[in-house]
Amino acid sequence: NAGVTQTPKFQVLKTGQSMTLQCAQDMNHEYMSWYRQDPGMGLRLIHYSVGAGITDQGEVPNGYNVSRSTTEDFPLRLLSAAPSQTSVYFCASRPRAWVSTDTQYFGPGTRLTVL
Amino acid sequence: GDSVTQMEGPVTLSEEAFLTINCTYTATGYPSLFWYVQYPGEGLQLLLKATKADDKGSNKGFEATYRKETTSFHLEKGSVQVSDSAVYFCALSDSNTGNQFYFGTGTSLTVIP
């Protein structure tokens, strides 16, 4: 199993540009999520999904869109990038939705810089 | 709401020293508690977890005990190595909000030979 994969590893955007961060998992996990990591703030949840076709907002959803058309993929879209979205983005998955005891598994991250 | 408060860093220790990283939490339901480790340039990896009160999680010489009475989940290791240098995150997942994970701010540990 490859686990959770993310592409690209690094990305530089100009303000106003759009892009999609890709995330895929091959473990047949129900639950998938996106976090951003900023210095001194830990990880904050952006959006999550409990299954194909079902998504919901986390703590910091503004400026980001998600969709989940398959169990495996959970892309994160920035429609109009802003410098405040400069961060490291992590995708994660968990075997079951609604089961708080399950462990989350993280991808390697995407480092995004918005100029 | 739910939250995790973690000891501020950075922490610098000599090899073979004793490590404690404090973590306390607030939760509305019955939380599961986790410690994750992040090595430089990598994603987060699960280090250990505990899913009910008085449980002890352990892995690679690290231990943490879920203390409901003090709402704490402190990470300890008796003898740290240079290879333990990393950022450590305490996190919780609550039975009331099972699809939200709450992370502490992270504690950076550097172990010097």
pLDDT digits (tens, 9 = 90+) for A3-18: 999 999 999 999 999 9
Instruction: Output the average pLDDT for chain A.
Output: 94
Q: How confident is the model at residue A72 (pLDDT cuts 50, 70, 90)?
A: very high
Q: Which residue has the tokens 């404090």?
A: B22
B31 at interface of A, judged by CB pairs closer than 8 A: yes
B98–A90 C-beta distance less than 8 A? no
pLDDT of A6: 97
Task: Please determine, for residue B98, whether its predicted confidence score (pLDDT) is greater than 80.
Answer: no
Q: Which two tokens stand for residue A108?
A: 């390697």
Question: Residue B3: what residue type?
Answer: S
Choose from B6, B88, B101, B107 for mutation: most chain A CBs within 10 A: B101
Contact B106, B10 (CB under 8 A): no
Supply the DSSP symbol for B83: G
What tens digit of pLDDT does each residue of A79-103 get?
999 999 999 999 999 999 888 888 8
CA–CA dist B35, B24 (Å, integer): 12
Compute CA distances A89 → A76, A86, B21, B33, whole Å. 10, 9, 25, 22
pLDDT of B95: 77
pLDDT of A40: 82
Cα nearest neighbour of B106 on chain A: A42
- Residues of chain A positioned with their CB less than 8 A from the CB of B31: 100
Mean pLDDT for B55-78 is 97
- Residues of chain B positioned with their CB less than 8 A from the CB of A109: 42-43
B95–A42 C-beta distance less than 8 A? no
Question: Residue A22: what residue type?
Answer: Q
Contact B3, B102 (CB under 8 A): yes
pLDDT of B101: 86
CA angle A94, B73, A106 (to 5 degrees): 25
Cβ neighbours, 10 Å, residue B92: 24
pLDDT of B41: 85
What is the distance, to the nearest Å, from the Cα of residue B11 to the centroid of all Cα atoms in its chain? Answer: 14
CA–CA dist A46, A62 (Å, integer): 8
Q: How confident is the model at residue A25 (pLDDT cuts 50, 70, 90)?
A: very high
Question: Residue B90: what residue type?
Answer: C
Q: How confident is the model at residue B9 (pLDDT cuts 50, 70, 90)?
A: confident
Task: Please determine, for residue A114, whether its predicted confidence score (pLDDT) is greater than 90.
Answer: yes
Mean pLDDT for B102-113 is 95
Stretch 58-87 of chain B: residues touching chain A, C-beta under 8 Å: none
Supply the DSSP symbol for A104: P
Q: How confident is the model at residue B66 (pLDDT cuts 50, 70, 90)?
A: very high
